[in-house]
Structure 1
């Protein structure tokens, strides 16, 4: 089956899958920052980590994750969103996860850096390769929006 599909088609499908999964994950992470804990609650968390200007960065991170996830699924401004999400994940890894290590300990599941690094790698792939032709950018506009 795969041998009958061109490398371009396979690449476009792979980029679509990465965009959808990455977008859903970031929407799920951004949603509570905006609508559950709220920006003030997230700002307090960031302040506790020693982040300067926690109120400003709470807004930026929340919007990058939530709106960026939506935009990524659609395939609009994909390289820019990929860059912002990659930066987001590097900062999150350095601020929170590097102290825990790569793999979460058995008594603290889900806190290791492995997920953050995988999300970084996916965001980096979108940054480098773009959205693929199954996107609003290339499907409708026939060019990448920069």
Structure 2
């Protein structure tokens, strides 16, 4: 079965899978910042980390995660969303996760840097290769060209 798929088809399917999974994860991270804790709650968290201009960065990160996740799923503005999300993950890794280490200790599950670095790598893949041809973005471009 896999041998019958062309490299382009396999790449396009892989990019859709990466975009959708990455998008869902970032929506799940952005949703509570937007609708549960709110921008002010997230701003307080960032302030506690010593982030300068926590109110501004709370808005930027929340928009990048929630709406960037939606953009990735749809395949629109994919490279821009991926760039913002890659920056988000690098900053999160250096601000918070580097103190914990790569793998979370047994007494603090889920706080290691491994997830952030995996999300960073996936965002870089979308940044490098774009959304693939199975996307709204490239579908619109094809209509404009024809």
**Partner residue, 1:139:** 139
1:1-146 correspondence to structure 2 within 5 Å:
1-142=1-142
CA distance in 2, matches of 1:43, 1:142: 41
**5+ residue gaps in structure 2?**
none
Structure-2 separation of matches of 1:43 and 1:24: 23
- State the number of aligned residues: 143
CA distance in 1, matches of 2:9, 2:106: 40
> For residues 142 and 76 of structure 2, what CA distance do their matches in structure 1 show?
12
Report the CA distance between 1:137 and its aligned residue. Answer: 1.0
Give 1:66 shift: 0.2
Structure 1: runs of 5+ lacking an equivalent: none
TM-score (norm 2): 0.96
Q: How far apart, CA to CA, are the structure 1 residues paired with 2:5 and 2:75?
A: 22
Stretches of 4+ aligned residues off by more than 6 angstroms: none
Alpha-carbon offset, residue 139 of structure 1: 2.1
The alignment's C-alpha RMSD in Å is 0.9
More helix by share: 2
Q: How far did 1:75 drift?
A: 0.3
